[in-house]
Structure 1
């Protein structure tokens, strides 16, 4: 377990970051009484990279949510195994139908230094422009949605670094998943996409999402229901169960 002096002061950092970001922001810091609390807080995190993997692999113990006066939200955590960095990810806009997120690239989060001024610059010039672009695409999609039956969905569940999909009934859906790197694993009784290379994994998810969309099938991401953890070291989640969502196509 990390020594208390090695854990960054997330509360102070997030409050200072809110002061440095352009616009008017407020900061809310939360301590997690149990490991499962982090998934409820992170339900709307819009990320398929650094932040998503940290949530899936570590008991974080705390997080912070920054909210701008226009409703834009940022999720902030201390970067696991690093005493000098934080991870900042965008949170998806609320109140929008999940179908509007189809085929929209996630504005993946970034690592920032333990320096609110420099972190604010990185966020303002990197993360926020990508978030604004993705949000505009989602809002445009939402405006074009018409009443229609809920389409079929494939749910991808994080299990450690891997993504699991319960074997679909449709052969064409199975074939798309296999073509994009998912392999059936008897131990999980599911199709598994390895997370050994997170960049390749993210590329495979996006390709599969686009191809499934062409078949009229949506994709959603879920974190597993974890067991309580005793510290902030790396943990191994148990058998997957739907708990919280991550936006995808």
Structure 2
């Protein structure tokens, strides 16, 4: 990984640049003894383009931070592989919830000439307006957080009761509360049907059990749906498949 050149006086440039920017700015210069020392500040750089790439690809060895009296900060480093340019980037406002930055475009940094007067003009005309706009958006988001989306409502529980031709009533519960209500009202578990069943030998008793089970289920917020099974033709009256009809010999050939 390449090292940033030491031939430029970053500290003096940053100090002069702070004096030329509109408003009141102070400059703080940092020299890094080790490579990892550059990241605590670099991680706050609000850039996904030119400056972020330089930080990721270069051992910086030093940087400077300019701070405005309202707390806005600019990050300054030499531009790698050049001797006459610097990179200046905005720094994100600290202490805000990450959600405040959602939907806010990063005010990507810019390259400026090795001349604090011209550099200040470029920053004032290009970077600062975008930076101030982004800060205003983030502060607005922080002051008016978007409420979390409501969780989707769960489908209401229900018990489907199906009548069969012999008067048998089968019910399939979705919860233990529903199963208990069915069992308490005369339904018995049938492993073969994988359902609770209620015989129909005495329809009056059966109706009483169904009404009582429905009331107990409703007390738990559980609905009841009554269904009849799909109509099927009896085996001895089923229509002969067309293919079989075609294969039978006609009377003319008997």
Please give the TM-score of this superposition, normalised by the length of structure 1.
0.57
Aligned mates of 1:87, 1:3 — CA distance in 2? 12
Offset at residue 127 of structure 1 (A): 0.2
Check if 1:93 corresponds to 2:54.
no
- Equivalent position of 1:132 in the other structure: 132
Report 1 or 2 for greater relative contact order, CA contacts < 8 Å, sequence distance ≥ 6. 1
- Equivalent position of 2:65 in the other structure: 65
- Equivalent position of 1:22 in the other structure: 22
**Worse-matched range after superposition: 37-46 or 127-136:** 37-46
- Equivalent position of 1:55 in the other structure: 55
- Equivalent position of 2:122 in the other structure: 122
Aligned residues: 148
**Structure 1 residues 89 and 137 mapped into 2: Cα distance closer, same or farther (>3 Å)?**
same
Offset at residue 23 of structure 1 (A): 0.6
Please give the TM-score of this superposition, normalised by the length of structure 2.
0.55
- Equivalent position of 1:163 in the other structure: none
| 1:163-174 equivalent positions in 2, closer than 5 A | none
Q: Which has the larger radius of gyration?
A: 2
8 Å contact from structure 2 (residues 4, 78) kept in 1: no
| 1:194-213 equivalent positions in 2, closer than 5 A | none
Structure 1: gaps spanning 5 or more residues: 150-249
Offset at residue 114 of structure 1 (A): 0.3
- Equivalent position of 1:76 in the other structure: 76
8 Å contact from structure 2 (residues 4, 60) kept in 1: no
Offset at residue 141 of structure 1 (A): 1.1
8 Å contact from structure 2 (residues 14, 66) kept in 1: yes
**Deviating 4+ runs (over 3 angstroms):** 1-4, 146-149
Offset at residue 7 of structure 1 (A): 2.2
Aligned CA-pair RMSD? 1.9
Offset at residue 40 of structure 1 (A): 1.1
- Equivalent position of 1:107 in the other structure: 107
